[in-house]
Amino acid sequence: MSRQQRQALDELLRHGPLDLGGDVAEQRAVFSEMMASIPLPSDVSTTVGELGGVPVVTVETPASDPATVILYLHGGAYAIGSAADAVGLAAEIVRRTEARAVCVDYRLAPEHPFPAPVDDALAVYRALLDDGLPSSAIAFVGESAGGGLVAATLVAAKDAGLPRPASAAVFSPWADLSVSGASVVSKAAVDPALTPEGLRRRARDYLRDTDPTTPHASPVFADLTGLPPLLVQVGSHEILLDDAVRLAARAAECDVRVDLQVWSQVPHVFQGFAVMLDEGAEALDAAAAFTRAHWTDVTEGAEAPEAVG
Contacts of 302 (CB under 8 A, 6+ apart): none
Query: Position 111: which residue type?
Result: E
Rg (CA), the chain: 18
Answer yes or no: 197 catalytic.
Answer: no
Contacts of 14 (CB under 8 A, 6+ apart): 192
Q: From the candidates 60, 143, 238, 279, which is the catalytic residue?
A: 238
Residue 159, CA distances (Å) to 135, 154, 226 in order: 16, 9, 10
Q: From the candidates 144, 167, 172, 218, which is the catalytic residue?
A: 144
For residues 185 and 179, what is the distance between their CA atoms, to the nearest angstrom?
10
On the CB side of 200, how many CA atoms lie within 13 Å of its CA?
7
Answer yes or no: 237 catalytic.
Answer: no
Answer yes or no: 268 catalytic.
Answer: yes
Q: From the candidates 216, 237, 268, 294, which is the catalytic residue?
A: 268
According to DSSP, the β-strands at 100-104 and 54-60 are antiparallel
Residues annotated as part of the active site: 144, 238, 268
